[in-house]
Amino acid sequence: MARVLHASVVRGATIDDVQVYRSNVLRDCTAKSLKHRAEGATFDRFWRRAKYVVGELSTGDRIVVSPRFTGSLDIERGGWHNARGDYTVIVFALKDGNALRYRDVRRLGTVALMSPNRFTEWEGAMGPEPLEATFTPAVFAKNVRSSSRAIKTVLMDQRRVAGIGNIYANEALWHAKIRPSRRASTLTLAESGRLHKESVAVLRSAVDQGGTSFRDYRDPNGERGGFLGLAKVYSRQGQPCVRCGTTLKSSHAIENRITVWCTGCQK
């Protein structure tokens, strides 16, 4: 999503008007302060930070979006009056006649407006990014093997590793042949190294596929993410493991999120 926005007509565009229709999604601002601080500013660039989309404004403020399950940032060419449905949350109308619309069916996502100091504080609380060069096997091992929690829980802890959500944790653990409920502290260095490698590979594949789409999710250009078609375990509970043939199991015991794994080859 961030990559699409950065290359789109939105980058470099000036915000002419801000309309907030569902203020309960806002963080670090009110509807009034978002409108006051964003109008007249330019979208300088977009990037991804962990599971968030960051839009940097010419004022130095950042708009930080957490789409969660059904949130999306849509480019409306020709104006926001082209918006369809009842799920529009915020619209950034642009001076060139286009618009950037945040739409969220279940309204589980959030939109924050952060000052430079607040953004530095927020970002500093996050762990390393798996797709950055500084995310080495040694850094990964230090961050995960020091915890006695389930390795899947540790993988999704944004303070230890930034950017791995439930789907990708399931997939990385399957590829690494590690049981999701294992205590992270029991992983050997070899197992940690294998999980590091597979976590990076899964995220790279997800980026290449444009992420994962459920139901009506689309990226800013209206395209669906294709990663789910490559999933080996997620949403495949009850089916045979493609590696060993054992029937895949599922549970909500870890963080109340669905975990799917193979009892035959994940130890």
| pLDDT range class, residue 214, cuts 50, 70, 90 | very low
Looking at 101, 124, 147, the residue that finishes a domain is: 124
Task: Tokens for 198, please give them.
Answer: 């597979």
Range of the domain at 75: 2-124
Same domain, 177 and 244: yes
Q: Report which of 89, 71, 77, 87 is spatially closest to residue 213, judged by C-alpha positions.
A: 71
87 belongs to a structural domain: yes
* pTM score, whole prediction: 0.74
pLDDT tens, residue by residue, 93-110: 999 999 999 999 888 899
Same domain, 204 and 251: yes
Same domain, 171 and 247: yes
156 belongs to a structural domain: yes
User: Count of domains in the chain?
Assistant: 2
pLDDT tens, residue by residue, 176-206: 999 999 999 999 999 999 999 999 999 988 8
Same domain, 22 and 107: yes
- What residues pair up with 250 in beta bridges, in sequence order? 260
pLDDT tens, residue by residue, 9-68: 889 999 999 999 989 999 999 999 999 999 999 999 998 888 899 999 999 999 999 988
Same domain, 14 and 114: yes
Which CATH number goes with the domain that contains 30? 3.20.190.10
Looking at 124, 151, 166, the residue that finishes a domain is: 124
SS3 breakdown of the chain: % helix, strand, coil, rounded to 5? 30, 25, 45
- pLDDT for 219 beyond 60: no
- pLDDT for 69 beyond 80: no
Which CATH number goes with the domain that contains 252? 1.10.8.50
Same domain, 11 and 116: yes
Whole-number Å distance between alpha carbons of 203 and 164 = 8
131 belongs to a structural domain: no
